[in-house]
């Protein structure tokens, strides 16, 4: 499954260039039994199987002996992954990502080995592998040098707490819709202002919760990424929305 990360896209390039190291640890290699069983029926009954504590604990210990760092369990009860958490994780020297299966993992593994639980959304998937790949991809792209051009990251959605602005390419007219004239003007300052205004407006339209959270008290890190002019535009937009 993890070939999607190691063999494709920016993560492949990051690994190739030595900016990211990825190692897959298989709990079956730490079972010690002939059947190599990693799951068993849960105490108390109920449907499904539960991942056993012994092979998981041994596997995690081996991974951390190779590369110390926090253990993150991909879990529906974890903190909802956002850009702030991504940047926190990117500052770690190493990460061990624990992917659950079936009904999850024995709670004692969480109590004794896991430092943090993270969720990628309020829905159910078969296992934590896809969630782990999401974490790897999002963390990799904020590592220095991975994207090649740091401006790419700074223009992404969520970097400054807002959604990205709309984008256009050739042709200038498509099915009766034209590219906004300002983007054809060649005036880079006007284009910059237009893009920021559109970013604020699109955030207010699609994710008003992000706009409400973006203030000096709650998201100082995001605010620091806005220049004084952008701050004024943001404040004026909030005042206009309040008047409406």
Q: Determine whether 41 is an active site residue.
A: no
CA–CA separation, 214 and 226 (whole Å)? 11
Burial classification of residue 19, based on how many CB atoms lie within 10 Å of its CB (0-12 exposed, 13-18 middle, 19 or more buried): middle
57 and 181 in contact (C-beta within 8 Å)?
no
CA–CA separation, 100 and 146 (whole Å)? 28
Nearest C-alpha neighbor of 99 from the set 30, 24, 47:
24
- Selecting among 113, 141, 195, 222, the annotated active-site residue is 141
Give the SS3 label for residue 79.
strand
- Selecting among 61, 137, 156, 164, the annotated active-site residue is 156
Q: Determine whether 82 is an active site residue.
A: no
CA–CA separation, 72 and 105 (whole Å)? 13
- Selecting among 39, 54, 87, 103, the annotated active-site residue is 103
Give the SS3 label for residue 224.
coil
CA–CA separation, 67 and 30 (whole Å)? 18
Q: Determine whether 77 is an active site residue.
A: no
Q: Please give the radius of gyration of the chain, using alpha carbons only, rounded to the nearest integer.
A: 22
Task: List helix spans (H) across 67-179.
Answer: 83-90, 107-113, 129-140, 150-154
Q: Determine whether 47 is an active site residue.
A: no
Identify whether 171 is preceded by a cis peptide bond (ω within 30 of 0): yes
174 and 125 in contact (C-beta within 8 Å)?
no
- Selecting among 76, 84, 116, 137, the annotated active-site residue is 76
Which residues form the catalytic set?
76, 103, 141, 156
């Amino acid at each position: 499954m993890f070939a999607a990360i190691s063999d494709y896209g920016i993560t492949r390039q990051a690994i190739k260039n030595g900016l990211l190291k990825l190692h897959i640890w298989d709990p079956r290699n730490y079972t010690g039994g002939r059947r190599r069983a990693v799951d068993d029926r849960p105490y108390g009954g109920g449907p499904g199987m539960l991942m056993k504590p012994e092979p998981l604990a041994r596997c995690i210990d081996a991974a951390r002996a190779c590369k110390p760092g926090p253990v993150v369990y991909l879990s529906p009860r974890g903190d909802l992954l956002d850009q702030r958490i991504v940047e926190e994780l990117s500052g770690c020297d190493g990460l061990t990502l624990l992917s659950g299966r079936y009904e999850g993992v024995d709670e004692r593994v969480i109590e004794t080995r896991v430092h943090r639980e993270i969720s990628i959304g309020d829905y159910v998937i078969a296992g934590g592998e896809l969630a782990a790949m999401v974490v790897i991809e999002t963390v990799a792209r904020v590592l220095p040098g991975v994207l090649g051009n740091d401006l790419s990251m700074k223009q992404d959605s969520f970097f400054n707490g807002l959604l990205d602005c709309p984008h256009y390419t050739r042709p200038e007219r498509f099915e009766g819709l034209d590219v906004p004239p300002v983007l054809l003007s060649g005036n880079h300052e006007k284009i910059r202002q237009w893009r920021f205004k559109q970013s604020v407006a699109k955030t207010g339209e699609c994710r008003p919760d992000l706009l409400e959270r973006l203030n000096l008290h709650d998201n100082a890190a995001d605010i620091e990424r806005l220049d004084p002019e952008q701050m004024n535009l943001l404040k004026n937009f909030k005042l206009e929305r309040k008047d409406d």
